[in-house]
Chains A and B, each alone.
Chain A
Amino acid sequence: MNAGSSREATPVRDHSTSFRQFLLGYSSADPRSLGVFRIALGVLLFMDAARRYPDIESHYSNTGWLTNHFMLFRPMSDHLFSLYLTCSLPWQVKVLLGLQLLIDLLLIAGYHTRVMQVLAAVLIASLNSRNVMLENGGSVVLTLLAVWSMFLPLGRRFSVDALLRSLGAEREASLDDLNAPLARDKAPVLSLAVLALVWQWTAIYAFNALQKNGPAWHDGTAVYYALHQYGMLTRLGSWLGDSLSLGASRVLSFGALAMEWLIAALLLVPIKTRITRMLAWLLVCALHLSIASVLNLGTFSWAMIIMFFALVPREAWDMFHARLSARRPSRVLRVDGSNPFALAVCRIIKRFDVLGKVRFEQAEAEDANRFVALDPHSERRARGLKGLRLLAEAFPFGPITVAWLGLPLVSRLAKKWIRRAERKPEFYVGYFELSSPTPTSDGTLSPAKAFFARLWFGLGEALVLVLLVCCGSQLLLENEAVPASLKPTHRPVWMTAVIVYPRLFQGWSMFAPSPPFEDVAVVVDGRTKDGRHFDPLTGREPSFDVAARARHSRNCEWYYFERHLNEDRFKPYLGGVRDFLRSHHEISERPEEQLVAFDVWSVSQPISLPGEPKKPAQKSKVLSYGNVRD
């Protein structure tokens, strides 16, 4: 789906002035990078929504601990909006989540891309707003990514939209036209939104580094403490936490801090941005892949990484193109050039042939109406499905793309279809209402359309500017490292609303000023009706050993649930937690697990450094139901 248009032929910007060059370097993006970024963003949004499916009953519907009516009656935040609040019953939430997944899929495919971008952003913000207690850095960063990128044309390349646009714009009418190079869309996207993304990431790293000024970061034990948060550790993290020495912790802690500073600085550098940003990406990958391998932080690490897809410079694409072009073989496709059906198929093939490796030739008399793929070097010929495979070798990821056609039933159907298309091309000409395409129009926009396009673009940029100002003021307000004199004192309510409705918060202090010095877990000491001790959160007997218990923690949402439950701001919602635990057996559909009495404890286990004696855990009762005597 590498489609293009005639934009390359007419340079969009005048590169004469150095300021423009600076702007182009600093706040422009290559449409191919944006296309790949769209796919990555769509996949991440899809994964984020899909992984929440198992917890719908617990966290997002009225069978869970936070009902929609209580969330609306006593909202966890001002300016709260969530489409998920309209859904009370689990099936309603599942329908809406299914819709969200569908929209994410369409975003990945790039179908009606702009609409899908907006819908995906609204739905991810809605999902996060439905249960604010579970909100974390990852969800905020993902929402930020979705919102900022809403103003970028992510569908210009590698999308269904681009394919359709290209087919409509350039109408090859003969084999000669087909062999002419296709003007692919490479005109850079110059937008404030690119700048906003860069500044946003700079702010995240800069403030995360700046505010890591606690003792644990000074003495290098921060990573050690982080790796003893058992509720959020992966298996590798658990193993590392158990075996990490203080020396290694110091290296890792100072290394992480240095990387954060370095990434922020590299992103800010105004010159040679194509090099500095890629260097920053390397560091980001190293930092966040390490974090993701040991800590379960939801989408945080992945969201931080995928933003850089949007910043891949044009030169990198050209280099990648040249290398790939050298590795991929050339192919010839012989078809009947007078057959509209063959031409239509070739036009589509041409748009997938981003490397320009396929040459179209007139089929010989005995091959009339057939599609014959040819390897010009070995003179190997193939038809039908084999021909398609031979042809696909010329495309990037081509063999993988057509691999599914080798599946037993599919391959038989494909062969049948190709045979039929070769035997009765006139049927397909009529069936698809094909006619010989007319020559290419010049593709220029009318002044009216150009005016409205400029107006639309200008409105988008104005919106980005407003958002930038709002996010800037939020950044000053939320971060403790900002001196009080710089904090805005009289911010209009509408600016707060702009930030809070889509949850675009700007407080960046992960494990800052220090990581937590204690590991926290919530233990439900429950008694079932058949007399057993039972903790429905783990499905086992209650255990007050935080480290052992935390290994049963399911995902980062549950981790944040347990971490925040004892906080004063969430006290009003404890009634819902009690009701949830009382009816937990209905969700699990295990009546034997019905609790007749329970106490909910928040257990805080101080983390001891190597060599220190293990400190005793502190328990505090969060809530009770019935009378737990033993």
Chain B
Amino acid sequence: MAEAEATPPAQEEAGRREQSELSNLVRDTYLSVDVRWLGVFRVLYGTLLIVDLVRRWVNVRFYYTNDGAMPNHFELFRPGWHNIFSVFFAFSSFGEVNFAFTLALICFVLFTLGYRTKLFHALSLLFITSLNARNLFVENGGTIVVNLLGMWTLFLPLGRRFSIDALLSSLKAYAEKDSSELNDRSKPAAPIAPHVSLAVLALLLQWSVIYFFNFVHKSGVGWRNHTAIYWFLEQNRIVTWFGVWARTHLPLSVLELMTRGALFMEATLSFIMLLPFSRENMRRIGLLLALALHGGIAAMSRLGPFSYVMVIQFVIHLSARDFAFVSRWFARPSRVRTVIYDADCGICFLLCRVLKRLDPFARLNFVGNDEREKIPAEISDAELDRSLFVILPGGRIVREERAVFEVTRALPFASLPALWLVVPGLSNLGRALYRWIAANRTRISAWLGLAQCGVPSSKEASERALVAPKNTWRSDWAHALSVPREALVAFMIVVLGVEVCVDNPFMTKRVHVKRPDWMQAIVETPRLFQGWGMFAPEPPYEDGHLVVDGRTVDGRKLDPFTGREPWFDPYSATGWGDDQLWCDYTNHLRWANNAPNRQHFRDYLEHMHEYTGRPQDRLVDFDVWWVQNKSPEPGHTHGEALPPEKLVSFGNVRDSLAKPWLPAERSFSPAPPAPPAPPAPPAAPRTRRPHG
């Protein structure tokens, strides 16, 4: 105490300044995020959720209904985990599950558009975690990362920019009355202040943890001798056409280089985002590395949403300068347009107000048709009353539906949905539609209650800042909410930190943590696991796929999943073309501990002809085999064929096509000659679908 009192004031001041600089550094580096990038992220993440849902919807009966291979009662009877929860467990039949998928799609779309963003974010998180928990056979690292990203970003204001919420609050906050106010882009002030939250640090730590453990766990021979990418590309289950091309054309040395590159990128990504210096550059490098790493993985393999979700997280951490850099493209002079609108038309003025808000780079300049001095003389008064006009940078004037299209060209990503307006034929339809609307615009304005030039009634005309001022109930309420929110983030960091110590062999060898049951429930229920070891410690050296050796009611041999005769040769020059869901499902099905689940796969095959509407394909007996081989050593084209494993049977298959491949029938050599195969070996189908 005495020492403190003795401290000279200058030193105290310097100490305070130092402390303040440090806290600023911590805040700016680890806790701040640009709200515009959060808006961009929301659109990307929402789109990912929609795509993920739609790809599952294609085979919804097989994976998610009680007609399929994973009935809800069995998933609940024999859950993979103690704490399992899915809203989709309440939906059993095909119709019910379709209803649930529709609800999920609505939530995802509204979240993407940013309507009541927080509510639909929470609901989207509920639906996506439920979807992943409904069928654990198709869960993989990618789905876990989707859950995690949804959970962490729930604490961030994703709807503050580029959302319907932002548009509506902006329209309410400031009511323009004429073109000069429309052209005044300072009002209403769009929020650009960075958002500060512990959730940003949580995201940085989360991604560093993912890359770090993925790196340190890759300790096997394949990674040490740098052939891992080679083995990875030999996985016919997941390889894409590009992967097939790469494994066929690229020499081993290039593949070894790619392996080293992958390891280097993972190692770098595990810390680069956390570096306290040169923050902006480091995060740009991080994004580029992630694009290279995951772009490569996505191009060469089918791993579901993994690659995409890993990359989009990096968008959150981009800076205001990055936004300005990207803006250059959207704000280039060629996108400048002058919009001449009908100042007496309520709906026209309202649309201009909306356009102003959809135009963050101020490319549109509004001129009312009553401002004759600003309008080129070649446009007559009569024309001004009839149509919208847009003046392009070169001075060219366009009108009607073409003007609408040109307006959308000035806005980011808006021209795509308006492209049909310039397609010959369709453009005539667009013109007719435009003319009808233009002719009825007064009536439409009156119908919408906008007869008075679109200016809202006086009660809404007060100007409020979008950001709540200090010392009001709004700011106090926001502050009061932020305390438990940040506490919850801190709590989740601790819980998932403990999970990291439990799930990763690298940690369990060094630290022994005993986790309480409630912590386990918090992690397991929304599927927030933290074990990271993709293709680790070794890349896979064996490959396989599922073959159904079936006999139809009319005596044909049929594998209903390919629509062709069963094909037991494990060699494929082009890959099997399986999608991620099928690949993961069949891979889980073959495991001995999942043998009880096979009865439902058998039941599905028995009834499959009912779902496909092909009674002639009814199977009277069938065997389901896991056909496998060792991946070929470098320099070989064929790997050693391993005996197929019978997974499940129905009836009595007397003329099994698997016989030539079974050990009792023949011996195996590393590169076997072609077995007595059917006359014309079928090419692998492009995609395998449970419905054939």
Q: Answer yes or no: are A and B bound together in one complex.
A: yes
Which A residues are within 8 Å of any B CB, using their own CB?
Answer: 67-73, 75, 80-83, 85-89, 91-92, 126, 171, 430-433, 435, 438, 441, 445-449, 451
B506 proximal to A (CB < 8 A): no
- A–B complex contacts, Cβ < 8 Å, 28 sampled: A68-B76, A69-B72, A69-B74, A70-B73, A72-B66, A72-B73, A72-B89, A73-B71, A73-B77, A85-B89, A87-B85, A88-B85, A91-B521, A92-B85, A171-B459, A431-B471, A431-B472, A432-B473, A433-B472, A435-B462, A438-B459, A441-B458, A441-B459, A445-B449, A446-B447, A447-B447, A448-B449, A449-B449
Decide: A69 and B77 in contact? CB cutoff 8 A. Answer: yes
Quick one: closest A residue to B78, CB to CB? A69
Nearest Cβ distance between residue A497 and chain B, in whole angstroms? 9
Asked if A89 and B90 make an inter-chain contact with CB atoms under 8 angstroms apart, the answer reads no
Q: Which has the most chain A C-beta neighbours within 10 Å: B76, B450, B458, B459?
A: B76
Q: A72-B71, A81-B91 are in contact. List 6 more A-B contacts (CB 8 A).
A: A72-B73, A73-B71, A92-B85, A430-B472, A433-B472, A435-B462
Bound: A289/B88 CA distance, A: 42
B90 A83 Cβ-Cβ under 8 A: yes
Query: In the bound complex, do residue A431 and residue B473 qualify as a contact, i.e. CB atoms below 8 Å apart?
Result: yes
Question: Do the beta carbons of B90 and A73 come within 8 Å of each other?
Answer: no
B383 → chain A, closest Cβ, in Å?
Answer: 29
CA distance A70 to B72 in the complex (A): 10
Q: Indicate whether B534 reaches chain A with its CB closer than 8 angstroms.
A: no
**Which of chain B's residues 66-111 have a Cβ closer than 8 Å to chain A?**
66, 71-77, 79, 83-92, 96
3 shortest interchain CB distances as A-B pairs: A446-B449, A73-B73, A69-B76
Q: Does B446 contact A (CB under 8 A)?
A: yes
Q: Could you mark each residue 457-476 of chain B with 1 if its beta carbon is under 8 Å from any beta carbon of chain A, else 0?
A: 11100101000010111101
Closest to A80 in B: B92
With A87-B85, A435-B462 as contacts: A72 and B92 at CB distance below 8 Å:
yes
Q: What mask results when residues 648 to 689 of chain B are scored 1 for a CB within 8 Å of chain A, else 0?
A: 000000000000000000000000000000000000000000
A81 and B74 CA atoms in complex are apart in Å by: 17
A82 engages B448 (CB within 8 Å):
no
Scoring A71, A83, A88 by chain B CB atoms within 10 A of each residue's CB, the highest score goes to: A88
C-alpha spacing A448/B451, complex, angstroms: 12
In the complex the two chains form, is B447's CB within 8 Å of A86's CB?
Answer: no
- Return B79 CB to nearest CB of chain A, in Å: 7
Q: Are the CB atoms of B72 and A72 closer together than 8 Å?
A: yes
Inter-chain contact B92/A448, CB cutoff 8 Å: no
- Report A283 CB to chain B, min CB distance, Å: 41
- Nearest to A86 among chain B residues (CB) is B89
* Interface flags, B34-74, vs A, CB<8A=1, else 0: 00000000000000000000000000000000100001111
Interface code B614-625, partner A: CB below 8 Å = 1, 0 otherwise?
Answer: 000000000000
Which partner residue on chain A sits nearest B449 by CB separation? A446
Contact A441 B457 (CB under 8 A): yes
Chain B residues whose CB sits within 8 angstroms of the CB of A438 once the complex forms = 458-459
B472 touches A432 (CB 8 A): yes
| Complex contact A86–B87 (CB within 8 A) | yes
B residues within 8 A CB of A91? 521
In the assembled complex, the Cα of A451 lies from the Cα of B448 at a distance in Å of 10
What is the distance, in angstroms, from B96's C-beta to the closest C-beta of chain A?
A: 7
Once A435-B462, A438-B458, A438-B459 are accepted as A-B contacts, the answer to whether A88 and B471 lie under 8 Å apart by CB is no
How many angstroms between the C-alpha atoms of A552 and B587 in the bound complex? 54
Taking a contact as CB atoms under 8 Å apart, the answer to whether B76 and A72 are in contact is yes
Find out whether the CB atom of B76 lies under 8 angstroms from the CB atom of A448. no
State the CA gap A430–B458 with chains docked (Å): 21
Q: Which of B75, B449, B471 has the most chain A CB atoms closer than 10 A to its own CB?
A: B449
User: B73 touching A69 by the CB < 8 A rule?
Assistant: yes
Q: Find the residue from B71, B72, B474, B476 having the highest chain A CB count within 10 A.
A: B72
Tally of A-B Cβ pairs under 8 angstroms: 84
> Which of A73, A432, A451 is packed against the most chain B CB atoms within 10 Å?
A73
Identity of the chain B residue whose Cβ is nearest the Cβ of A428 in the assembled complex: B473
Instruction: Categorize the interface residue count of chain B.
Output: 35 or more
Which residues of chain A come closer than 8 Å to B84, judged between CB atoms? 88
B209: shortest Cβ distance to chain A, in Å? 28
User: Given the complex of chains A and B, what is the CA–CA distance between A265 and B84 in angstroms?
Assistant: 53
Q: What is the bound-complex CA distance between A75 and B66, given in angstroms?
A: 12
- Complexed CA–CA distance, A563 and B306 (Å): 54
Residues of B near A70 (CB, < 8 A) are 73, 77
Nearest CB to that of B66 among chain A residues? Answer: A72
| Whole-angstrom distance between the Cβ of A80 and the nearest chain B Cβ | 8
Q: Within the assembled complex, what's the spacing in Å between the Cα atoms of A445 and B79?
A: 54
| Closest chain A CB from B213 CB (angstroms) | 30
| Distance (whole angstroms) from the CB of A24 to the closest CB of chain B | 29
Query: Which residue of chain A is the closest to B457 with respect to CB atoms?
Result: A441
Q: How far is the CA of A431 from the CA of B476 in the complex (A)?
A: 9
Contact call A88/B76, Cβ cutoff below 8 A: yes
Residues of A close to B464: CB separation below 8 A: 433
* With contact pairs A69-B77, A73-B77, A430-B471 given, residues A83 and B87 touching in the complex (Cβ less than 8 Å): yes
How many angstroms from the CA of A71 to the CA of B89 in the assembled complex?
A: 12
Distance between A431 CB and nearest chain B CB, rounded to angstroms: 6
A446-B472 in contact (CB<8A) = no
A435 to B474, CA, bound (A): 15
Q: Which residues of A contact B474 (CB under 8 A)?
A: 433
Report A-chain residues with C-beta under 8 Å of the C-beta of B73: 69-73
Task: Output the nearest chain A residue to B92 by Cβ-Cβ distance.
Answer: A72
Choose from A68, A75, A80, A447 the contact partner of B89 (Cβ within 8 Å): A68
Rounded to whole Å, the gap between the CB of A391 and the closest CB of chain B is 24
* Contact partners of A435 in chain B: CB under 8 A: 462
- Give Cα A82–Cα B66 distance, bound, in whole angstroms: 16
CB of A127 to closest CB in B, whole Å:
13
Residue of B nearest to A449 (CB): B449
Which residues of B are found within 8 Å of A73, using beta-carbon distances?
Answer: 71, 73-74, 77
Looking at the assembled complex, report how far the CB atom of A224 sits from the nearest CB atom of chain B, in whole angstroms.
Answer: 44
Q: Which single residue of chain A is at the shortest CB-CB distance from B474?
A: A433
Q: Taking the nearest CB of chain B, how far is it from the CB of A494, in angstroms? A: 10
Kindly supply a per-residue 1/0 record for chain B positions 506-529, scoring 1 wherever the CB is within 8 Å of any chain A CB and 0 otherwise. Answer: 000000000000000100010000
What residue of chain B has the Cβ atom nearest to residue A89's Cβ? B83
Return A262 CB to nearest CB of chain B, in Å: 43
Q: How far is the CA of A58 from the CA of B543 in the complex (A)?
A: 48
A446, B471: Cβ atoms under 8 Å? no
Q: Which residue of A lies closest to B83 (CB)?
A: A89
In the complex, which residue of chain A has the Cβ closest to the Cβ of B450? Answer: A446
A435–B92 Cα distance when bound, in Å, is: 55
CA distance in complex: A446, B449 (Å): 5
Check A88/B90 contact, CB under 8 A, given A432-B473, A447-B449: no
Complex Cα–Cα for A171 and B450 (A): 22
How far is B66's CA from A71's CA once the two chains are assembled, in angstroms?
Answer: 13
Distance in Å: Cβ of A604 to nearest Cβ of chain B:
33
Contact partner of B90 (CB less than 8 A), chosen from A69, A86, A447, A448, is A86
Please, how many angstroms separate the alpha-carbon atoms of A67 and B74 in the complex? 12
B87–A81 contact, CB under 8 A?
no
Whether B96 lies near A81 (C-beta < 8 A) is: yes
Contacts of A445 in B (CB 8 A): 449
Q: Is the CB of A447 within 8 A of B72?
A: no
* B294 CB → nearest A CB, Å: 33
In the bound complex, residues from chain B placing their C-beta under 8 Å from that of A431 are 471-473, 476
Residues of A within 8 A of B75 (CB): 69
Chain A residues within an 8 Å CB radius of B447: 446-448, 451
Tell me which residues across on chain A come within 8 A of B74, comparing CB atoms.
Answer: 69, 73
Residues of B419-450 at the interface with A, using a CB-CB cut-off of 8 Å, are 446-450
Contacts of B85 in A (CB 8 A): 86-88, 92
**A residues within 8 A CB of B72?**
69, 72
Neighbouring B residues of A67 by C-beta, 8 Å: 76-77
Report how far A89 CA is from B524 CA in the complex, Å: 13
Distance in Å: Cβ of A76 to nearest Cβ of chain B: 13
Q: Which residues of A contact B92 (CB under 8 A)?
A: 72, 75, 80
**In the complex, how many angstroms separate the beta carbon of A128 from the nearest chain B beta carbon?**
14
**A62 CB, nearest partner CB in chain B, Å:** 8
Distance, CA A550 to CA B162, complexed state (A): 65
Residues of A within 8 A of B89 (CB): 68, 72, 85-86
Q: Measured between alpha carbons, how far is A598 from B92 in the docked complex, in Å?
A: 36
